[in-house]
Amino acid sequence: MNYSVAGDIVCDCLVIGGGPAGSVSASIIAEAGYDVVLIERAIHPRPHVGESLMPATNEVLEHLGVQSRIDDLKFIRKVGVQFVNAAGKASSPFFFRKHDDRPDSETWHVDRATLDHCLFEVASEKGARTMESVRFLKLERNEPGNHQVLVDDKGEARKITAKVLIDASGQQSVLAKHFSIKEMEPIRKNISIWTYYHSSEEVFSNQAITIIARTKEANGWFWLIPVDSKTLSVGLVGDVATIHAKAATNADRLLDFVKQNEFVDDYIASLNLTQFGDFIAAKDFSYKASQPAGDGWVLTGDALGFIDPVYSTGVLFALKTGELAGEAVVDCLKTGDLSKQKLGSWYPEYDEKVDLLRKLVDLFYDSQFSFGSFISDNPDCSYQLADLLMGRVFGRESTDFFEKVAAWKNQQTQLT
């Protein structure tokens, strides 16, 4: 239900942002019996990039009890991933169930507008007061247990008073910016440009893979993701300066780089696909907040941090932080302890696991490293790599995969 309430609002928890992170937190807190207001600046369904999920997202969706709801949306099943090197040579597809034959080893290619809308509706069904076309303006009073936020509700200024705040505002990072704790990482100043290609016929089956194709021209890579039986999401991620130097518009930039990449150009042509829709650009600069929480507030999803999108970690991190922060807020409201230590108690272990996927991203960009060669020399590491590619790091024992990689790289250096 989308609530429309006159005047100012008082609640236990205000969640800023109605994407996956915010909706998950709101669902958990509302289900625990607390009064939650969930605000979203757009109106669902709203377009959003990030159409490829990692299998580990199933764990959070199962915990929320919404996996059957996602199944009912009839998204294309994501059964694996394939990598193409800068010379256009494609690796053998990495099929998830080859390494773990359980059904939850597969996930979905999704229409994010549909997925996010579904999760937003679930939050409402669980008791959250959901409000759309409501924009955060500023934090007027920073007082744990008595925060006050000024919002723009369809052109009308309103105040929302809450005991605790959750920043799920994505890369806007409204509270992180307010407290000046958003820190940019010095590596990989990338930009992404994406659009869609369409066929008049059904060209994708209900089971498909994600293709990641390197491009030396843009010092980056393409994604090719089927989002339904007739539609392909095509995106380019690469160095900002290199891509901007290519042409004056995002459309010309993406189309020129597509033409230069023989694999991607041939793939699109072989399916007789035609470009449609806008060309959208976003900065993919990696960053993280210097602290995950403060007295009476906590960050989730992209508001907390963002790493390169090559392994489709964004939705997984949004769901997981939404879950962990939501559970922390419930515990804090029960005990009355709204301290930053309590609200951020989940973060050290979470950050340790995220660092594993950050290291996996570093290996992808390491021109001196080959996953194929490493696994050929270290076949016992294949299942560790499989878990990493599926995002299965949370709730698992630590892996020595990267120590073995370091030892192997050192050995290769000595051999040369």
> Residue 27 and residue 308: Cα distance in Å, rounded?
28
CA–CA gap between residue 194 and residue 52 (Å, rounded): 14
Which of 241, 257, 283 lies at the terminal end of a domain, its last residue?
283
Look up the domain containing 91 and give its range: 79-108+189-283
Q: Are residues 162 and 36 in the same domain?
A: yes
Classify residue 390: in a domain, yes or no: no
327, 349, 371 - which closes a domain: 349
104 shares its domain with 116:
no
Contacts 24+ apart (CB under 8 A), 402-406: 402/356, 402/359, 404/378, 405/363, 405/369, 405/374
What CA–CA distance (Å, rounded) separates 359 from 15? 31
Record the tokens describing residue 16, joined without a space: 């800023």
In a domain, 17, yes or no: yes
Count of domains for the chain: 2
In a domain, 415, yes or no: no
In terms of Cβ atoms closer than 10 Å to its own Cβ (0-12, 13-18, 19+), residue 86 is middle
Same domain, 200 and 177: no
Residue at a domain's end among 258, 283, 308: 283
Task: Please indicate, yes or no, whether residues 197 and 334 belong to a single structural domain of this protein.
Answer: no
Q: What is the pLDDT along the chain (416 residues), one digit of tens a residue?
A: 445 456 799 999 999 999 999 999 999 999 999 999 999 999 999 989 999 999 999 999 999 999 999 999 999 999 999 999 999 999 999 999 999 999 999 999 999 999 999 999 999 999 999 999 999 999 999 999 999 999 999 999 999 999 999 999 999 999 999 999 999 988 888 999 999 999 999 999 999 999 999 999 988 999 999 999 999 999 999 999 999 999 999 999 999 999 999 999 999 999 999 999 999 999 888 899 999 999 999 999 999 999 999 999 999 999 999 999 999 999 999 999 999 999 999 999 999 999 999 999 999 999 889 999 999 999 999 999 999 999 999 999 889 999 999 999 999 988 87
Q: From the CB of residue 176, how many other CB atoms can be counted at a distance below 10 Å? A: 26
What's the pLDDT score for residue 5?
Answer: 53
Q: What is the pTM of this model?
A: 0.95
Q: Does one domain contain both 230 and 92?
A: yes
Say how far apart CA 168 and CA 172 lie, in whole Å.
9
Q: Do 44 and 19 fall into the same domain? A: yes
The DSSP symbol for 379 reads: G
Would you say the C-alpha torsion 301, 305, 308, 311 has a positive or negative sign?
negative
Helices 20-31/314-335 angle, 10° precision = 30
Q: Are residues 34 and 154 in the same domain?
A: yes
Residue 73 is assigned to a structural domain of this protein: no
> What kind and span of H or E run contains 356?
helix 347-365
Both 176 and 196 in one domain: the answer is no
Q: Has residue 245 been placed in a domain? A: yes
Give a yes or no: residue 366 inside a domain: no
